[in-house]
Amino acid sequence: MNKRKLGKSGLEVSTIGLGCMGMSYGYGPPSDRKEMAALLRKAVDLGVTFFDTAEMYGPFINEELVGEALAPVRNEVVIATKFGFKIDPKVERGIAGMDSRPGHIKEVAEASLKRLRTDRIDLFYQHRVDPDVPIEDVAGAVKELIKEGKVLHFGLSEAGAKTIRRAHAVQPVAALQSEYSIWYRNIEGEIMEALEELGIGLVPYSPLGRGFLTGKIDEKTAFDSSDFRNVLPRFTPEALKANLAFVEMLKKMAEAKGATPAQLALAWLLAKKPWVVPIPGTTKLHRLEENLGAAKIELSASDMKEIETAASKIAVTGERYPERLEQMTGK
């Protein structure tokens, strides 16, 4: 697989990365650990060098999985993880609030290093902007970790343009990780412009709309009781039924390219900018292979215009997050 650089940071990764969250958290019960470790190693064999995890995924067990699976090939891969939450396994989803105090950031780094079985974190994201801690203090704490060699690059997740600029002035930001897909394009405009101006890479999470853009989900799909999608407005049966028009549009255009809807959705992201690296997640080998196949699909300017024109004519039903979660993003 070809590689891309995340902005001007010099951090080079595979054109498509692998989001590891769903292996342990978010989409139902954790998958079999041995099977997921084998899938992670297979991803490396297929050319993936960029793996995304976080302390809160599990909590903790996803970092442990990634660390164990990738330890034998540690020097061949780039591992990204995140800080910024108070973790309490006793509360719902393990999140007891935000915490990006400098002292806590350093504690998380030390714990993540142990779980990941490594001596450095390649990319350390603030998971969500903490309204109680100035972003300059956050960037300063990561800057110290970079000086110590424990962290190589600083990232932000779901941050707004002003926050990105303030953080970047203290410690250069290598990448912004935010939700972005043909189905959710809210970061276009001010945020994307700031990234291009400052030379910051973009790592879209949920590039396949949490599975919806694969075409395998409809209003009759039943999610496990622990599946995060049960609380998302876009995944009510009514919203799913209404939004199927979007998938039908993707299917039609994908067929013309000899591709699947998922591949077209990923190819669209790759064609947006050369510093965009999506991280679709999966627990299945055939899905991994399908997703990676998107890197071979080339979309012309006219293809992009055709896709975006068609997408603009379809109104998406439902917000991406319930209000309490949306309030944690885009600051």
In the predicted model, what is the mean pLDDT of residues 112-138? 98
Q: What is the pLDDT of residues 166-178, one digit of tens each?
A: 999 999 999 999 9
Q: What is the set of active-site residues?
A: 57
Structural domains in the chain plus CATH codes: 3-211+263-297 (3.20.20.100)
Q: Max Cα separation, the chain?
A: 53
CA distance 5 to 277: 9
In the predicted model, what is the mean pLDDT of residues 207-225? 96
Conformation bin of residue 28: beta by default, left when phi > 0, alpha when psi is -120 to 50? left
10 Å Cβ neighbour count for 137? 14
User: Which residue is it, tokens 């609380």?
Assistant: 231
Task: Output the DSSP codes for 19-82.
Answer: E-GGGTSSBSSPPPHHHHHHHHHHHHHTT--EEE--TTTTTTHHHHHHHHHHGGGGGG-EEEEE
In the predicted model, what is the mean pLDDT of residues 224-228? 93
Checking if the pLDDT of 219 tops 90, the result is: yes
Checking if the pLDDT of 45 tops 80, the result is: yes
Q: What is the pLDDT of residues 52-72, one digit of tens each?
A: 999 999 999 999 999 999 999
CA distance 238 to 290: 29
Q: Helices marked H in the chain — which ranges?
A: 33-45, 61-70, 102-115, 135-147, 161-170, 190-198, 237-256, 261-272, 285-292, 301-312, 323-326
Whether 85 contacts 76, CB under 8 Å? no
CA distance 35 to 104: 33
Average pLDDT, the chain: 96
β-bridge mates for residue 156, sequence order: 126, 176
Compute the half-sphere exposure of residue 69: CA atoms within 13 Å on the CB side of its CA: 27
pLDDT of the residue at 318: 95
Which residues, including other chains, have CB under 8 Å from residue 248's CB and lie 6 or more apart?
A: none
pLDDT of the residue at 91: 79
In the predicted model, what is the mean pLDDT of residues 70-91? 94
DSSP state of 168: H
